[in-house]
Amino acid sequence: MDNNSLKAQGNLIMPPLKDARFRRWRTMPKDIHETIVAGVFLLPAICFFAVFVVYPIIVSIFTSFFNYSINRFEFLGFGNYINLFKDEVFLKSMKNTIVLVIGVVPFIILFSIFVALTIYQKSSLVCSFFRGVFYLPVVTGTVSVIVVWKWIFDPLSGILNWFLETLGMINQPIMWLGDKHYALWSILLVLFTTSIGQPIVLYIAALSNLDKSHIEAAEIDGATNWQVFKYIKWPCIMPTTLYVVVITIINSFQCFSLIQLLTSGGPNYHTSTVMYLVYETAFKLTQFGYANAMGVILAVVIGFFSILQFKFFSNKVEY
Amino acid sequence: MKNSKKKTSIGNILRMTLLYILTIGFIFPFYWVITGGFKQQEVTVQLPPQWFPIHPTIENYRKLFYNPALTWFFNSVLIALGTMILVCVVSTMAGYVLAKKKFYGRELIFAILVAAMALPKQVILVPLVRLISSWGFHNTLSAVILPAVGWPFGVFLMKQFNETLPTEILEAAKIDGSSELKTFILIVVPMVKPGIAALAIFTFIGAWNDYFMQLIMLNSKLKLTLPLGVATMQQEFATNYGVLMAGATFAAVPILIVFIAFQKYFTQGITMGAVKG
Amino acid sequence: MKKVFSLLMVTLLLLVTVVSGNIQVGAADDLAQLKAEITWWNFPNFMAVDGVIGKYEQSIITAFNQKYPNIKVNLENIDFASGPEKINTAIQGKTVCDVLFDAPGRIIAYGKSGVLADLSDMFTGEFIKDVNNNNIINACKVGNKYYMYPISSAPFLMGFNKNMLEKHGLLNMLNLKGDRTWTTSQYKALLEALKAKKERGAIIFCSSQGGDQGTRAFIANLYDSSITDEKITKYTINDQGGVRGLEFVVNAIKSGLLLNGSASDGTAAIDEFCAQRVSHTILFSSGLFATKKDQIKFEPIMVPFPSADGIPELEYLIDGFCVFDNGDANKIKASKLLIDFICNDSIWGPKNVKATNTFPVRSSFGNLYKGDETMTYLAGLTKYYSPYYNTIDGFAKMRTAWFPALQAAFTGDKTPKQALDDFVKVANDSIKQ
């Protein structure tokens, strides 16, 4: 999208508040008629939401208290939850998930601010091009991206080992995805490339909405690029940064297909995430109750970040 | 214009160089996948790599299309379109009233929807499969479409967009005696069209790439989607990179075309979600 | 027990040559009119025709439809990496297939969870007598109900690239005489020789799940451990021999004699062998050779696992079918007809067994591979068969613990002893559950 239309949209966001009728409407109390109308319009959304989100959550929480598999359904109380905290594999997966999240977020912030700063003032065509490039891995989907990474990391016929061997940096092939010292970092690298698109788009939008006169004034006063960034741009894009942090955290917590297609959680669960483990427990081991208990815990953790997100949304940040 | 001279500093050159290196890093995989699909299997694993297929072959595509890859393609299109239409209709209606009507429970409903947006799908994995199968929908395209409509992101997005509507026009319509439905269809919908377009393209690409739901809901070969079918091939062909890259190309190109054609709306969709709450 | 069994197998495979035509016919008339649509999920067991998986199976269905024109069979090929999870998901979604071609390991677990149709009526006195092998018959049942209908069986071995060994003048380091048995020190010498010639050793794969039996058998053999006790009541691979075996592998990986396969699944490891990028594979069989034939552009040679005493204990596969109970009696009936046709038809029965390149369970099929040197050699290996533990309670749970145990040892998270002790603990717990 070119910057002009974004600005046009920005204007739309703040409608003129002069009109008297508008004020009257604002002060009008909620009434029954409005509620009925709203109910009718909301009905389809609420139905879908209730059936496909709320109901499954309730069932999930309920069955997490049972020893539940294909042919079993016995009440356990908190048994599943107690076992979870004694389960080495679960704790390991939780640790990996947190490492992934903490590892990937700073890189994404730094990288996307760098790209956005470098290109946001270019012509809309150039801007679109770069935005598209960094969005490629998101659009084409993990499944297509994985094929190349599989080959890059392939210990015997992959380019990475060949490259390092040619440079004489290694003399034994490295099992990038099979060695516990590298596997999680390899995953992190792929996760990074597939998560970068959205933040860049957001930062470009945020930077384009900056008031140029401040920056120009500062530059005339002899401010260095770094000072301009630190004192003008950075504070202005702070809300975007907050938002990017939250969505990246939530997305990284849900990292699944990378793991499933690249390592199946190996070696020895060094790349297993809670997301992946839930799937494996449910459909490899068919321990549904246990899997649901894991899911509930994960939901609680992510729920914590959702609250952050909601707080952030309700603060009505504007550019 | 004043600072254009300053732009040619060394720092700037360095920055641009770094950017180009990164760009190559991001484009290379796609170059590799597309050319790799035309290489013979021996060539794909040759080291040093053959940077361009010297003896191109369509053998990989022949193998790919022994699988019902076209059916996968149409399944993907149907799922993406179906999800898109349902999400747009449901979300536009809900987003409108959430933004423009003052009614009891509005804040509560909105709060619940926003909170649910971050819910990991794995949490509801097993009950969802059971629910869908109790209706006999498992392994049908509806099994992927319907749960996706329950996801509240679209509602949230449309609420954001509806807030940008000038309330005077809605008020005027009300005074003129226009019914609620008429107001919605004749006034609201045309005004939020850009929002719907953004949501539509966003949902389309999202549904196309929703590998996880497809994985747990579909199983028979003729019901698979393109990404899922290609993922299955990855397991089947293990290290036969030629076929895998042909598959990856075939899975990526259609959605890439959609993205390039509608990039404008797509970008809008992303920024709208964040710009204002 | 081993002797008796081996005698039986030898008899079964080599002596009986008369094909008896007494194939179960049933009430042919009304069954021929049976109308149903069934789905058949198929792991890659049959030879690929023209490099295309599923083409052979389609020809079976065409022939089947000549006999039963009103039964529509939908064939789906699944793979060992994603197939098992797909089946579990489908069971939950109530969209699982009707007929599955697999092995007892999974089928018996499905039988125990009550999702399969009882096939006891197919185990006629004639069939049991013809199979004449209690190990195979017992591998097919849970309690007194039969859930798997067996068709064929074959041992798992190692595969070497004969041409590669010849090229380096190393072929004489294999024992090519008799049963080709050899010792672990001979194996180690060969590994070192291969490394000196810059050839890579086998990938000790341990990702995803398929082919785990091969790695277990390989490690157990190296220093004469056994995976379970003779009566299959507990796992014993953490004994001294097992630990030494795993230590051997870990050290071999460290010194570059073997490859760490923590990120490779069985299929990938075999594919690397087929593509000549590694010198050998620790999991190979006549059946695998058949399904990979079009990829292999060299002569593979099969040898048993090396062991300290030179007497291998081999695992073997049993191929067979099961029927999922999808609540439709007609479909179950049609599925049984299909299985009966595939296994027992006077023309297609033997032909299908040959297409899997394994040995028929029916002794009446006789020697299908007369003059085939490899198959004659394999047929003589039945005396080395170890106890068949794939139907043990908790087998599925045990399997999921095995690869992580190997990975833990390879990454150094645990010592080989710790890894095997922890594995055996989980595995033994799984029997009780």
What's C399's domain CATH number?
A: 3.40.190.10
Q: What is the pLDDT of residue C308?
A: 93
What's the average model confidence in pLDDT over B228-245? 81
Q: Which element (helix H / strand E) includes C161?
A: strand C157-161
Contacts of A108 (CB under 8 A, 6+ apart): A192, A195, A196, A199, A244, A248
How far does B185 lie from chain A, in Å, by closest CA? 12
Residue B131 has pLDDT above 80, yes or no: yes
Percent of chain A at pLDDT exceeding 90: 30
Residue C18 placed within a domain: no
Distance separating alpha carbons of residues A272 and A251, to the nearest angstrom:
16
Backbone angles phi, psi at C302, to 5 degrees: -95, 135
* C253, closest residue in chain A (CA to CA): A172
Q: What is the full DSSP assignment across C354-410?
A: HHHTSEES-GGG--TTTT-HHHHHHHGGGGGBPP--TTSTTHHHHHHHHHHHHHHHH
Please check the confidence at residue B49 and state whether its pLDDT lies above 90.
no
Per-residue confidence (pLDDT) for residue A14, from 0 to 100: 34
Residue C300 lies in a domain: yes
At B111, list the tokens. Answer: 């709060």
**Residue of chain B whose Cα is closest to the Cα of A134:** B26
Q: Which of C88, C260, C272 sits opposite A178 (nearest CB)?
A: C260
Q: pLDDT > 90: what percent of chain B? A: 20
Verify that C43 and C119 share a domain, yes or no: yes
Of B130, B216, B238, the CB nearest to C271: B238
What are the tens digits of pLDDT across the range C63-88?
Answer: 999 999 999 999 988 888 778 888 98
Q: Looking up tokens 């839930």, which residue turns up?
A: A278
Question: Total domain count for chain C?
Answer: 2
Residue C355 contacts residue C368 (beta carbons within 8 Å) = no
Determine, for residues B275 and A205 on separate chains, whether the beta-carbon distance falls below 8 Å: yes
* Residues forming a β-bridge with C155: C316
CB contact under 8 A, C263 and A263: yes
B4 lies within 8 A of chain C by CB = no
* Same domain assignment for residues C148 and C191: no
Question: Distance (Å, rounded) from C-alpha A1 to C-alpha C40?
Answer: 50
- Among candidates A254, A240, A239, which has minimal Cα distance to A301? A254
| Chain A residue with minimum CA distance to B20 | A130
Selected residue of B239, B259, B275 to mutate for chain A interface (largest A Cβ count, 10 A): B275
Q: Does domain B61-276 have CATH number 1.10.3720.10?
A: yes
C152 forms beta bridges with C319, C360
Asked if B160 and A13 touch (Cβ cutoff 8 Å), the reply is no
* Residue B276 pLDDT greater than 80, yes or no: no
Beta-carbon contacts below 8 Å between A and C: 89
What does the pLDDT read at residue C432?
83
User: Are C223 and C271 members of one domain?
Assistant: yes
pLDDT range class, residue A20, cuts 50, 70, 90: very low
Are B238 and C268 in contact (CB < 8 Å)?
Answer: yes
Extents of the domains making up chain B: 2-36, 61-276
End-to-end CA distance of chain B: 35
The answer on C307 and C424 residing in a single domain is yes
Q: What does the mean pLDDT of chain C come to?
A: 87
pLDDT tens-place string over residues A192-234? 999 998 899 889 888 888 888 888 888 888 888 888 888 888 8
Do residue C307 and residue C354 come from a single domain?
A: no
C-beta of residue A48 within 8 angstroms of C-beta of residue B146:
yes
Tokens 């999702």, located at residue = C115
Q: Do A216 and B15 touch (CB under 8 A)?
A: no
* CA–CA separation, A176 and C372 (whole Å): 42
Decide: residue C166, CB within 10 A, 0-12 exposed, 13-18 middle, 19+ buried. middle
Residues C188 and C276 grouped into a single domain: yes
Q: What is the ipTM of this complex?
A: 0.86
Q: List pLDDT tens digits, range C82-124.
A: 788 889 889 888 889 999 999 888 899 899 888 999 999 999 9
Distances (CA, A) of A261 to A154, B211, B229, C433: 13, 11, 13, 31
The answer to whether A177 faces chain C, any CB pair under 8 Å, is yes
The domain covering A81-314 belongs, at the CATH homologous superfamily level, to: MetI-like (1.10.3720.10)
Q: Tell me whether residues A151 and B270 touch, CB distance under 8 A.
A: no
Residues A112, A104 contacting (CB under 8 angstroms): no
Domain boundaries, chain A: 3-63, 81-314
Domain contains C387? no
Q: Which residues of C touch B133 (CB under 8 A)?
A: 92-95
Helix, strand, coil in percent for chain C, rounding step 5: 50, 15, 35
Instruction: List pLDDT tens digits, range C30-59.
Output: 777 888 999 999 988 888 777 677 889 999
Using the predicted structure, report yes or no on whether residue C297 has a pLDDT greater than 70. yes
Find residues 88-107 of chain C whose CB sits inside 8 Å of chain B.
89-90, 92-95
Rounded CA-CA distance A156/C277 in Å is 8
Q: Which of B111-125, C135-149, C237-251, C387-401 has the highest mean pLDDT?
A: C237-251
Is C148 found in the same domain as C101? yes
Q: Is C404 on the interface with A (CB under 8 A)?
A: yes
Given a cut of 70, is residue A79 above it in pLDDT? yes
pLDDT band at A315 (very low <50, low <70, confident <90, very high): low
Q: What is the DSSP letter of C239?
A: S
Please judge whether A156 and C277 are an interchain contact, meaning their C-beta atoms are less than 8 angstroms apart: yes
Contact at CB, B263 and A1, closer than 8 angstroms: yes
pLDDT range class, residue C29, cuts 50, 70, 90: low
Residues 86-125 of chain B whose Cβ lies under 8 A from any Cβ of chain A: 89-91, 93-94, 96-98, 101-106, 109, 111, 113-125
Query: Domain residues for C146?
Result: 29-153+318-375
Q: Which residues of A114-126 are buried (b: 16+ CB within 10 A; e: fewer)?
A: bbbbbbbeeebee
Q: What is the pLDDT of residues A26-58, one digit of tens each?
A: 444 557 777 888 889 999 999 999 999 999 999
**CA count, 13 A, side-chain hemisphere, C390:** 28
Q: What is the pLDDT of residues B176-217, one digit of tens each?
A: 888 888 889 888 999 888 889 889 988 998 899 888 899 989
